[in-house]
Amino acid sequence: MKNETRTKQARLALVREEAALRARLLALLPSVARDGAPLFVNSANSPEAVASYCHPEADAVFAAAKRCVELREPLSLGSEGDVAGYFLAACREAASDDPHRRGPRKLAEWLLGKLAP
């Protein structure tokens, strides 16, 4: 019974965190797609010189996405195909040295396509 209650609480916490992350991204991404603000680079995944130019919300959104991943782990839920997984994939691409990686506008458009209902 206790285990079932804990699992329910963990799922509820995850649903709340993912909804908050989705709402935050849906509010930020249109301007990133329009203006090209570097939302996908942050102090955790990029060198200091690059991270100093990141979007003011970049570190907080990255931390929220990591929190969602942490909440999914004890529930044995993968992070592929969920809001945090998509955002973190965009961050990895933005921080990569691949000369053909997408820029912030294209990443924002891609992520908006994944998050749109």
> What digits encode the pLDDT tens for the residues 7-66?
889 899 999 999 999 999 999 999 999 999 999 988 887 766 565 667 889 999 999 999
Instruction: Provide Rg for the chain, Cα atoms.
Output: 15
What is the value of pTM for the model shown?
0.90
Domains held by the chain: number:
1
Nearest to 85 by CA among 10, 14, 33: 14
Say yes or no to pLDDT of 99 above 60.
Answer: yes
Domain range holding 66? 2-115
